[in-house]
Amino acid sequence: MRVTVEVVGEETRNVDVAADATYADLARAVGYSPHEVSVMVDGSPVPEDQPVDAGRVRVLRLIKGGSSGATLGPPS
Amino acid sequence: MLSFTRDAYDAIVRHGHGGGDREVCGVLAGDYGDGESHVTDVSPVENAADTPQTRYAMDPEELLAVIDHVEDAGSDVVGFYHTHPAGPTHPSTTDVDRATWRGYSYAICAFDGHPFLGSWRWRGGGFAGERVAIEG
């Protein structure tokens, strides 16, 4: 099936995926790990393991991080 | 370079102070440029992380709504900010591991002393520091 995928902040493209593809497969098809993004349908996240049943989706790159973990030296 | 209006800069510091020992976060809006961006507006976004003292994770629905609002208003998303209530003043390895918006500014306001706001552009393989200024 063909799905119109907008990567928020980047471009919109049409992607062909298998009939049994999941939203995680769709994220990978546009170059992102499912852990890096939320696939959004009508403004809400959809479970990554759910089969694709929307003709248009938005892939939102997640914004997260924090002060935990080893720290780097100040970047240049 | 990442420049801020005085109001936008102060809004981040106030937001950070209000968060106490929790990290807070939000979206930077204004005029985007690959080498130089100007921030005129700051939009807080809910920190949905399980451990907000040391992590932040913007709520996806709220983040998308803010991005749409910024773009509908004819402005650009310039980048994002979050706080480090107890430092460090620079990105942690967690920040590096989670960064996804190539070419955008990630500003960090640290509060382990006098508030200090630094900014870095995510270049895919790492963060590149950029000068921060207050203008206009």
Q: Which of B48, B47, B43, B46 is nearest to B66 (CA)?
A: B43
B136: Cα within 13 Å, side-chain hemisphere: 9
Q: What topology does CATH give the domain B2-135?
A: Cytidine Deaminase; domain 2 (3.40.140)
Q: What is the mean pLDDT for each group of 10 consecutive residues in chain A (76 residues)?
A: 96 95 97 96 96 97 88 59
Q: State how many domains chain A has.
A: 1
Where in the sequence is the domain holding A43, given as residue range(s)? 2-61
Residue A20 lies in a domain: yes
Average pLDDT over residues B39-66: 97
Residue A23 lies in a domain: yes
Residue B5 · residue B13 · CB < 8 Å: no
Determine the pLDDT at residue B53: 95
Query: How do strand B76-84 and strand B25-31 relate by DSSP bridges?
Result: antiparallel
Determine the pLDDT at residue B72: 97
Residue A73 lies in a domain: no
Determine the pLDDT at residue A39: 98
Residue A75 lies in a domain: no
The domain spanning residue A48 has which CATH number?
A: 3.10.20.30
The complex's ipTM works out to: 0.92
Average pLDDT over residues B120-131: 96
Q: In the numeric block, which tokens belong to residue A68?
A: 């935990």
Tens digit of each residue's pLDDT (9 = 90 or more) over B58-78 = 999 999 999 999 999 999 999
* B63: enclosing H helix or E strand: helix B60-72
Residue B44 · residue B34 · CB < 8 Å: no
Indicate yes or no: CB of B100 within 8 angstroms of CB of A69: no
Tens digit of each residue's pLDDT (9 = 90 or more) over B20-42 = 999 999 999 999 999 999 999 99
Determine the pLDDT at residue A68: 84
Nearest-5° angle of CA B11, CA B17, CA B21? 140
Residue A69 lies in a domain: no
In this complex, the residue of B60, B63, B94 whose CB is nearest that of residue A65 is B94
Determine the pLDDT at residue A73: 63
Indicate yes or no: CB of A67 within 8 angstroms of CB of B63: no
